Chains A and B, each alone.
Chain A
């Protein structure tokens, strides 16, 4: 894996993947690596996003109507309607005065509620942290429910080093009136991975961004006082 921690190598591979010139076994190998190393995925996504607007320059060619018809057949809403109708009939049978209108309204309410309950909650959150003064440096922060950890993935020599200063990780809430959450110092065992508790996991839905600041060693500031060296928006996955 060390080879892929070298920015000269992985940036070139990411660019080739994004453009499509990486192919065959090399493309599949790189896809496998991206599944395991989120920073490779983030760098590649970044290149893909830069190149993708080329599609907008193409002259338009309207696809045949059958393409949409086939797509529409695979969309789930018709199932919802069928479910709702079945639910209406079932409720109508249960309601002694047989009001199908009432059953239909109740079915709609139940459907909405069920769809609400079934809407998937994030299983993880991710932020691509960009350096405030070195545009080519980035890292990826992942907060995962499966192992209840907050982890950072980055190439070697990404984290700045400064005599007497320690990098500290912060979660910045969406509500500006709420104080930042100090997650801990990025040193020793916690340099790349730190455990979180259930309360912290639930708090992630209220977090807007993740930031790393450089703070004087052995101090316990409750908000970032030093320079913010990395930051990025947190998104649910």
Chain B
């Protein structure tokens, strides 16, 4: 993880070779995130490309003591993907058309060897997620990985809107407490 921080700092100093290494190391996960959020291969490629240009343009403002490089970059690229997602005409992706995968990759039973490969922030977050109720966890992960709104989650889970909102709110509050 420290290597990624170093590469991002060097990118901020205009080092293109470092930026290329940073791209190679992080793009596969960020592309996976864009694909899930946008559910369109071409759009995901565009957003990844534009997101990395944003990363390059703002890399000089990155401070390693405030966040890891991966966290900092994920935030920039995910926000960009969410902006694009919200600009799409309504019902571009109807819930019926969407193929859902399981959230097994974020399973609360992550193997110890997999946990060890993760950054410190991610390990802590994974541990905190284990303490959430299954429905809170499901809603938070679906919203994060698929960009679902409260309404879409309520439809998908066939639960009242107020219930879904409460699950998310309580889940996030619990996460906040756990991560502090």
Contacts and interface: CB of A to CB of B under 8 A. Distances in A.
Interface of A: 12, 15-16, 19-21, 23-24, 27, 45, 47-64, 66-68, 70-72, 74-77, 115, 120, 135-136, 233, 235-237
A20 B140 CA distance: 10
DSSP majority for the B interface?
helix
Contacts of A23: 86, 149
A109 to B, nearest CB: 17
Interface of B: 14, 16, 19-20, 23, 27-33, 35-36, 45, 48-49, 52-53, 56, 60-61, 63, 65-68, 70-72, 74-75, 78-79, 82, 86, 105-106, 110, 118-119, 121-122, 125-126, 140-141, 143-145, 147-150, 168-169, 172-173, 175-176, 179-180
Given A21-B168, A237-B61, A59 B105 contact: yes
Given A58-B29, A68-B20, A53 B143 contact: no
Most buried by A among B82, B141, B147: B82
A24 B149 CA distance: 10
Contact of A61 (B31, B106, B126, B173): B31
Nearest to B79: A48
B169 A15 contact: yes
A61 B106 CA distance: 16
B45 A64 contact: yes
Given A233-B65, A237-B61, A24 B86 contact: yes
DSSP majority for the A interface?
helix
Contacts of A27: 86
Given A51-B144, A53-B121, A235-B66, A75 B56 contact: yes
Contacts, number: 145
A56 B122 CA distance: 7
A58 B86 contact: no
A233 to B, nearest CB: 6
A70 B50 CA distance: 9
A63 B48 contact: yes
Contacts of A55: 29-30, 33, 70, 74, 78
A50 B176 contact: yes
A166 to B, nearest CB: 29
A49 B144 contact: no
Given A71-B49, A235-B66, A54 B27 contact: no
Nearest to A120: B60
B53 A50 contact: no
Contacts of B49: 67, 70-71
Contacts of B14: 76-77, 115
Which 8 A/B pairs are nearest by Cβ-Cβ distance? A60-B28, A53-B122, A55-B74, A52-B74, A63-B31, A61-B32, A58-B32, A53-B121
Nearest to A63: B31
Contacts of B149: 21, 23
Contact of B16 (A12, A49, A58, A77): A77
B30 A50 contact: no
Contacts of A24: 86
B119 A53 contact: yes
A235 B108 CA distance: 36
Contacts of B118: 53, 56-57
A62 B28 contact: yes
A126 to B, nearest CB: 10
Given A52-B74, A53-B71, A56-B29, A20 B125 contact: no
A58 B33 contact: yes
Nearest to B125: A53
B119 A56 contact: yes
